[in-house]
């Protein structure tokens, strides 16, 4: 009996000790959690389009690492460690919903970077709106960023914005007269093509062909490019193409004797293009971020270094995707600490938000744009950096703006 009592007493002491330890641990955990800003990244990180989601993830991680090295992001005088919580939606709307539910309901994320395509954004948008979560997404459909959708911000510059600017530039500077389009056969790319065709027509260009599409995963582009090259347009626009397909399309066009201009409406990576297309890529025009040496700031150089440490190598696509987390953090800083959990405050800050652009040399500013396209400011005001390839490297052709 005595032994049993002693044992009970000893167990009781141990249990009390354990509870006390748990309490301390919980207390510590809660104190730590108070200083954590969790950012969700939801996107396609596997399969043929893995680059889209992975570049978003690596970019967010690079930005987070840069802030965390300084002790975190300063919001209202207090430092918050940034934690990136990433989920692969495999470009599947069902998995995107599951991923969003996990990030929002389980992990308590209030700011989400992604998803990458229309179908996944459409599936996640109702959840984000129900729980008042802000999404910085990468798609092209205007309605996704227009009222009544107030929680979704466009993180890139779509073709219908670059198109008019590039067409006008080439028309004025290089006497461009005609254009043809090659499009990935996906709903999103086709929509982008339609908008670009309208922009080309408005710019006074003759649209020679716009119906030529190819399937995802094509290994041979000769059949589709042969037909387009046959029309001998002054410019071939690669509309909505995946970075994986761009070098093959360029090389095929040149092998078929095409001498005109080639342009992609989406951000591309120089190594992918030069590896796949070699010298055929010279003169190719595409949208870029702030990654060309002549315009990048020291901060951008540091971002590139951090990105390389995380991903193993730089990807020029990150030149545009570098902005999403930076904009989220800077907007929260302006809105105040309450905006960490209350995104209404974040939304109220958007219209008048302005901050120095840390990625570019000079006195460029960051702000939200998009009123002309979405009837509200729901687009990151990225500089429209138009690059061309010269001597195997991207050179900035000109920098435009989105109004």
Minimum distance from residue 37 beta carbon to other proteins (Å): 26
| Residue ranges in 35-114 assigned as alpha helix (H) | 50-69, 93-101
Q: Which is nearer to other proteins, 95 or 165 (CB)?
A: 95
Nearer to other proteins, 69 or 220 (CB): 220
Q: Which of 306, 288, 275 is nearest to 67 (CA)?
A: 306
Contact string 203-232 vs other proteins (x = CB under 8 A): --------xxxxxxxxxxxxxx-xx-----
- Which residues, numbered 304-343, are part of the site for other proteins (CB under 8 A)? 311-313, 315
Per-residue contact flags (x/-) with other proteins for residues 170 to 209, judged by CB under 8 A: -------------x-x----x-------------------
Question: Among residues 122 and 256, whose Cβ is nearest to other proteins?
Answer: 256
Residue 42 exposure: Cα atoms within 13 Å on the Cβ side? 35
DSSP 231-284: T--SEEEEES--TTTHHHHHHHHHHTT--SEEEEEEE--HHHHHHHHGGGGTT-
Cβ distance to other proteins smaller for residue 146 or 185? 185
Q: Is 260 one of the binding residues for other proteins (CB under 8 A)?
A: no
DSSP assignment of 387-401 equals EEEETTEEEEEEEE-
Cα dihedral value 270, 275, 277, 279, nearest 10: 80
Cis peptide before 274 (omega within 30 of 0): no
Query: How is residue 159 written in tokens?
Result: 């073709």
Closer CB to other proteins, residue 53 or residue 358? Answer: 53
Q: Is 55 in the site for other proteins (CB under 8 A)?
A: yes
How far apart are CB 107 and other proteins at their closest, in Å?
23
Residues ≥6 apart with Cβ < 8 Å to 159 = 140, 192, 193, 195, 196, 199, 237, 239, 240, 265, 266
Element (H, E) at 74: strand 73-75
Least distance from other proteins to the Cβ atom of residue 200, Å: 18
CB 155 to other proteins: min, Å: 18
Near other proteins in 233-252, by CB under 8 A: 243-245, 247-248
Does 399 bind other proteins (CB under 8 A)? Our answer is no
Residues that bind other proteins (CB under 8 A): 45-51, 54-55, 183, 185, 190, 211-224, 226-227, 243-245, 247-248, 255-257, 269, 271-272, 275-278, 311-313, 315
């Amino acid at each position: 009996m005595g032994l049993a009592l002693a044992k009970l007493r000893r167990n009781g002491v141990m249990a009390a000790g354990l509870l006390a330890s748990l309490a301390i641990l919980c207390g510590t955990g809660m104190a730590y959690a108070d200083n954590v800003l969790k950012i969700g990244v939801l996107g396609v990180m596997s399969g043929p389009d893995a680059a889209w989601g992975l570049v978003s993830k690596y970019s967010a991680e690079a930005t987070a690492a840069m802030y965390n090295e300084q002790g975190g992001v300063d919001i209202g005088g207090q430092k918050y460690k940034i934690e990136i919580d990433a989920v692969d939606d495999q470009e599947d709307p069902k998995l995107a919903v599951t991923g969003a539910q996990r990030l929002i309901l389980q992990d308590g994320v209030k700011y989400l970077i992604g998803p990458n395509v229309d179908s996944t954004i459409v599936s996640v948008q109702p959840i984000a709106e129900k729980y008042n979560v802000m999404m910085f997404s990468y798609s092209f459909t205007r309605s996704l960023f227009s009222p009544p959708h107030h929680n979704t911000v466009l993180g890139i510059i779509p073709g219908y914005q670059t198109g008019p600017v590039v067409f006008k530039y080439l028309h004025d500077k290089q006497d461009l007269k005609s254009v043809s389009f090659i499009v990935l056969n996906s709903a999103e790319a086709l929509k982008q093509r339609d908008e670009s065709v309208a922009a080309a027509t408005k710019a006074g260009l003759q649209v020679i062909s716009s119906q030529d599409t190819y399937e995802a995963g094509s290994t041979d582009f000769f059949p589709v490019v042969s037909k387009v090259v046959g029309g001998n347009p002054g410019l071939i626009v690669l509309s909505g193409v995946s970075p994986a397909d761009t070098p093959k399309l360029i090389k095929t066009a040149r092998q078929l004797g095409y001498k005109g201009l080639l342009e992609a409406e989406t951000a591309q990576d120089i190594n992918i293009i030069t590896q796949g297309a070699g010298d055929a890529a010279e003169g190719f025009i595409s949208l870029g971020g702030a990654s060309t040496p002549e315009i990048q700031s020291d901060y951008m150089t540091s971002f590139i270094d951090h990105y390389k440490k995380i991903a193993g190598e730089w990807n020029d696509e990150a030149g545009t995707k570098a902005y999403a987390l930076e904009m989220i953090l800077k907007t929260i800083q302006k809105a105040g600490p309450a905006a960490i959990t209350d995104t209404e405050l974040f939304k109220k800050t958007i219209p008048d938000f302005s901050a120095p652009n840390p990625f570019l040399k000079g006195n460029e500013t960051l702000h939200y744009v998009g009123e002309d396209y979405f009837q509200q400011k729901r687009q990151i005001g990225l500089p429209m950096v138009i690059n061309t390839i010269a001597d195997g490297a991207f050179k900035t052709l000109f920098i435009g703006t989105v109004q």
